[in-house]
Structure 1
């Protein structure tokens, strides 16, 4: 008998908008993206969370707000 566990993480961008400020590395425009992440186990959703991520539009670096 063989058991196969299927785990999957799905991330989807729900919205994008410009954020105030400039990139500290290149001076480019910062873009805020709302990302929904969902963990599934055998097609059953277990975990759902919405995050806001910040990226530079010129150098494509992910920025962390402290």
Structure 2
């Protein structure tokens, strides 16, 4: 039996360029720190940038 835990904490927000394709609202870039633990032992962390619409609260995904 494995006990796993993942915690996310928001580091900061800033306005991003462009508009939401669904509703036309403003887009925010959110920096999030993800921590993973296995049986209370920290495995590591990753800082991710996510894009969220301020009106409809949808998470937007960028495709290359």
Structure 1 and Structure 2 fold alike (TM over 0.5): yes
Moved over 2 A (4+): none
What is the deviation of 1:41? 1.2
TM-superposition CA deviations, 1:8-65 (whole Å, max 9, x none): 1000010000100000110000000000001101221102101000000000100001
Greater gyration radius = 1
Using the size of structure 2 for normalisation, the TM-score is 0.91
Query: 1:15 corresponds to which residue?
Result: 12
User: Which 5+ residue runs of structure 1 have no aligned equivalent?
Assistant: none
**Counterpart secondary structure, 1:27:** coil
Match of 2:42 among 45, 52, 56: 45
What is the deviation of 1:6? 2.1
Aligned length: 63
Q: For residues 8 and 16 of structure 1, what CA distance do their matches in structure 2 show?
A: 25
